[in-house]
Amino acid sequence: MKAYVFPGQGAQFVGMGKNLFETSDLARKMFEQANEILGFRITDIMFEGTNDDLKQTKVTQPSVFLHAVVLAATLGNEFMPDMVAGHSLGEFSALVAAKALSFEDGLRLVSIRALAMQKACEIAPSSMAAILGLDDEKVKLVCRSIDDIVVPANYNSPGQLVISGSARGILLACEQLKAAGARRALPLNVGGAFHSPLMEPARVELSEAIMQTPITQPLCPVYQNATARKTTNPDQIKENLIAQLTAPVLWKQTVENMIADGASHFTEVGPGNVLQGLILKINNSVSVSGA
């Protein structure tokens, strides 16, 4: 069975989508539509901007989303998924590609999400860190022992778990996790504590927009970050999308469930190839490719 997966924030690069714009009438139409919806020419930043330009929150998330959904659309009849999933932001791309969410509504929600997350990041100093080479349970135990906000945020692959929390909590956790045997504890260059309780203001703001947005039954099961389980129920999809901002991304568990349900080939749709590498670390018996 074929699974299609969609990357999240961090996959962006200058020049992303330019070839699609230049070679596909459909892509060009969608890119110009996105410029109109967002109220600025995001394509200029994606194609010709600087890395710093592309790192702006209001640009980064819509850019990754836009590249992925346009690429999926240009695949035409080749895009025949038995199941889909997206990593964090990529979940919105997956829902649009699977026809549960319109392109226009998806882009609006991603823009609202990006700005709401940026506002939440500015409330208090916060950060994330990648913990390598330590058992997930050990990481969770250390996080729980810290007398500040620090939680598991991204279960990416065996031996790779990203934690999220207050600046002080992350600092203390990194020290204790290295002492507990972590091979590395790497602070990440991010604006704040994504997928943690510190995103609660953004969750509240985004939930209002999601509840007002039409979501229909997708053309195939969607595996969502907050549960790692498949669903085709529009109400459940909305609940999981809202929960996603403060819940951990259960990527490892999601991929394991997709494989258990019959996925044998994974195609990554969007910029970069990070998800392909993670999937092979989770289970190297499957095949992976980029779209």
Q: Is 88 a catalytic residue?
A: yes
Q: Is 195 a catalytic residue?
A: yes
What proportions of the chain, in percent to the nearest 5, are helix, strand and coil?
Answer: 50, 15, 35
**Residue whose entry in the numeric block shows the structure tokens 């050990």:** 138
E-strand ranges in the chain read 2-6, 83-86, 126-132, 150-157, 160-166, 184-187, 222-223, 230-231, 265-268, 287-290
Cα of 286 vs its chain's centroid, Å: 22
Q: Alpha-carbon distance 45 to 52, whole Å?
A: 10
Sign of CA pseudo-dihedral 39, 44, 46, 51: negative
Of the residues 63, 67, 87, 88, only one is catalytic, namely 88
Phi-psi region of 151 (alpha: psi -120 to 50; beta: other; left: phi over 0): beta
Residue 56 near residue 129 (C-beta atoms within 8 A): no
Of the residues 67, 111, 126, 195, only one is catalytic, namely 195
Residue 3 near residue 267 (C-beta atoms within 8 A): yes
By annotation, the residues acting in catalysis are: 88, 195
